[in-house]
Amino acid sequence: MPSRAYPGTPRGWIIPIGGKLLDEGILARFLSLSGGASARIAIIPTASNEPDIGTFYERVFARLGVAATKSLHFEHRIDCDDADWLAWLGGATGIFIAGGNQLKLTSTLGGTPAAKLLRDRNAAGVPIAGTSAGAAFLSEHMIAYGDEGATPRAGMVTMCAGLGLTNRVIIDQHFRQRERLGRLLTALAYNPFAIGLGVDEDTAAFIGPDDVIEVAGSGAVTIVDPADVQVSSIAEAKPGDELTLTGVKVHVLQSGATFDLHARAAQGASTFVTGH
């Protein structure tokens, strides 16, 4: 279960980004939520195989006016006990998780003091953003890997436990670019409690403390709501079988649109107030 919010303190924003981020307005809004120019941004490059990705994001945030950034190279599980890095993470006002391989995130961070501190900081009001693999990692139920394609099929997706900042959504990234509707539908067929968020590249879903999602960026967020599923063949299907699912609702939301996770209701574009 997600960590409980501190009494009198709203939970921090949860910000999955679909990958290939070009719109610096998304990062600018993340920084505004994190304290603006006075923000302290912790960068977690664990998922990436690129040795300089942490330094790259340090430069990006510095260019956006942030004086205090630090890349925390949790490469091995023993690194997640490093007292200096944990102290820096504990003092961060915003946390950014880079992309790469989400299984590297879970296998390196899962169950460590670093992961517990990430959950605690978000519960205390600190926004946490993740791009690509970092986006998938944010939720409790994570897509580890799966096949591409628009048609759901039994066995086309493998699930595992993620960071667990929220249990209300399952997140998939590079969504329309890599045709991942089928695997998100399959993931939701296993248990239609959660809502699917298919986040396009260069696009973000800003999930507020009130569980209202606000879309930003050049692409779209596809909302897959299985609450009213009437027929599902997942329990009887054999691996590779195409699935029958009836009653699924799908919303495709462009920048400025919102979705209320409690009411399960979408609204068209509205104007954002920076820092809201």
Give the catalytic positions in this structure: 132, 174, 201
Closest CA to 2 of 136, 141, 105, 160: 141
Q: How many CA atoms lie within 13 A of 216 on its CB side?
A: 22
Q: In the chain, what are the helix, strand and coil shares in percent, each to the nearest 5?
A: 25, 30, 45
Instruction: Using DSSP, state whether 235 is helix, strand or coil.
Output: coil
Instruction: Using DSSP, state whether 69 is helix, strand or coil.
Output: strand
Beta-carbon count within 10 A of 76 CB? 9
225 φ, ψ to 5°? -110, 110
Closest CA to 206 of 142, 255, 267: 255
Separation of alpha carbons 219 and 199, rounded Å: 8
Sheet harboring 14-17: ordered strands across? 68-71, 40-44, 94-97, 128-131, 14-17, 203-207, 212-217, 258-260, 265-267
Closest CA to 163 of 193, 142, 188: 142
Beta carbons of 210 and 11 less than 8 angstroms apart: no
260 φ, ψ to 5°? -90, 115
